[in-house]
Structures are given as C-alpha cells and as structure tokens.
Structure 1
Amino acid sequence: MAAPFQSGPQAVPLIYRLFFLYIEPLASLVGAYYAFFQPQEYLRLTDPSSSPILSIPLSTSIILKQLSNLYFLFAFNEALVLRATSDLSVWRTLLLGLLLADVGHLYSVHGLGSAIYWDLFRWNAIDWGNVAFVYAGASMRICFLTGLGMSNKGAQRGGKRRVNQR
C-alpha cells in the first residue's frame, strides 16, 4: 500500500480537503464544546421559549453530553480517519454516512417550524450552524460523492484510488 496522501492524478481538490479535514471538524468541536460545557446557552440558542430558565433537567443534561460526544466523533472521523487513509472508497463511505446524518439533522430542526429553513434574517449563531452550515456540509458531500471537481474520472467511479492530503 502506498503511503497515505501522496500526490497524483487522483488528488482530492483543496476545497474538499480544507472543508472535510479542517473547517467541518473545527465546527463540530465548537458544537461539542457548547453542548457539553455551555448546555444552558446551547438550549437557549436552540429555542429560547422552551429552554429551562434555572436548571437543566438531568435527562436533558445527559442527552446534551451524548450529543457532545457525537459531535466529537464526527470531528474525529473527519479530521483523523480521513487523514489516515488514501483510499477514496473509505472517504466516500464516511462522507455518505455523514450525508445521511445531515438529512436527519435538517429534519430534526423542522420542529422549530418551516421558517427555520428560509428566514435567515432571524437566525442566531446556532441556527447558522444547524441549518446553513449543515446545508453547506451536505452540499460539499454531494459534490464529492458525485465526483464534482475531481481531477480523474476514474476517481469518480470507485475503487481504491489514492488521495492527496497535503
């Protein structure tokens, strides 16, 4: 097996490498931080009208810590697992799983009403993360999975192609 991240015609374009290896993992770590260390603020930003004022119920606290753990897992998988392999089939598999998670995530915020998807002038920081950034991530995954911008047509079809991670 060739060393991971060698350059070559099957290189992953810089935009994908920047997004999947740096930008999105960092954003996931921010979400993990808020869900774990700032749960009151996390809930307030998610929906001020239903967030607890004085204390967070134990069950909600546990769920937020579990959510934080999942955000950390997303960051770990993207930032480290994708760096550990040069196999495009692994990249595609991991990114397909995250695309499915994107769909579920976008569906979950529908509980705030349909305006959450288009009324961006009313969005706060968490809305930008829960909607706009998730749409951006899903769009990047769709582009990658369909081979948009890939330098080698063979890399689009599957197989054990190598990627450039420099």
Structure 2
Amino acid sequence: MSAELPHIPLLYVVLFLYYEPLAAFGGAMLCHFDAPQFLKTMDATAVYAPDSQVIFNQLAATYLLFAFNEGVVLRITKDLKIWKVMLLGIVLCDFVHLYASWCVMGTAVFLRPWIWRPEDWLAVGTIWAPLFVRLAFLAEVGIKRVEGKERVS
C-alpha cells in the first residue's frame, strides 16, 4: 500500500519542486557552458584544463538528473516512500559534497563561514539549509498519520 501525500507543507514544495530543480539546472548550464567559472566556485586554486571538459559535461548531466528527479518525478508521485528514498539519495550526495568542500577548504576555513569567499557561500553555504530541510522531511516533521495512512500537513 502506498503512503499518500494529500498535502505537502509549502517549505517542502518550494524547495523540492521549484528552487532545487532550477538551481540544479543552472548548475548544469554553468558546468557545460562555463566550466572554468564553475571550477572557481569549487576551488579558488584549481586550474581549468580544456581536456577535462568531458568531466564537466558528465557532471552537468548528473545535475540535470537531479533537476528532473525533483522537478518531475516528485511532482507525479504521491507516494511518501518514493519521496523519502529520492531525498535520502540527495542527502547522501549533500554529505559527499560537503566532505569534498571540506577537503578543498581545510578545516580552518570550512568551520569559519565568516571568512568564506562569495563562491564558497554558493558552493557550500547553500548546501546546509536544504540539507536540514531534507533531514526534517525524512524525520517526518510536518507529516501526520491519519486513519492508518501517512499524511503530510
């Protein structure tokens, strides 16, 4: 039996169905069409090599998959289990993204956001709030069980 989602709180709707798909699409376009700029947002010291463009194109494809999954798949399913599995996958990606950023930035910078560059805020700072919202959704914050079914209120 599927766990239906008759109503999803506005915060989840805005983040998962609108903001993140658009942000992922924007990231895909940046990776594909301006990889040197994308690389600068990840690591100020990295040097773009045109021979590595294929990697940026593949990353762009992955971002398009994120955009599709959140922007389309979550819109067409009303099954809470599907939502939770998809969002758990993105949480795993978030943790790896944050770990990679920590490796590049170093602990002294990573733990001191007041000294981050604007690019660091784009690459790392924008991961934290959505991550906590995803974790809240996975913990069923705002989800009420009604008549034996899971319901998001």
Which interval holds the TM-score relative to the shorter structure?
0.7 to 0.9
The DSSP-based 3-state class of the residue aligned with 1:153 is strand
Identical-pair percentage? 37
TM value normalised by structure 1:
0.79
Match of 2:118 in 1: 124
Match of 1:89 in 2: 81
Match of 1:39 in 2: 35
> 1:117-150 CA deviation, whole Å, 9 max, x = no partner?
433443223x223212111121111000111122
| Unaligned segments of structure 2, at least 5 residues | none
Match of 2:139 in 1: 146
Quick one: structure 1 residues 160 and 62, their matched pair in 2 at CA, closer, same or farther if it must change by over 3 Å?
A: farther
Match of 2:59 in 1: 67
Question: CA contact under 8 A between 1:87 and 1:161: conserved in structure 2?
Answer: no
TM value normalised by structure 2:
0.85
Indicate the structure with greater strand content.
2
Deviation, structure 1 residue 47: 2.1
Quick one: structure 1 residues 17 and 101, their matched pair in 2 at CA, closer, same or farther if it must change by over 3 Å?
A: same
Match of 2:126 in 1: 133
Query: Aligned-pair RMSD on alpha carbons?
Result: 2.6
Stretch moving more, 26-35 or 41-50? 41-50
Quick one: structure 1 residues 117 and 37, their matched pair in 2 at CA, closer, same or farther if it must change by over 3 Å?
A: farther
Aligned mates of 1:50, 1:130 — CA distance in 2: 14
Q: Does residue 27 of structure 1 match 2:23?
A: yes
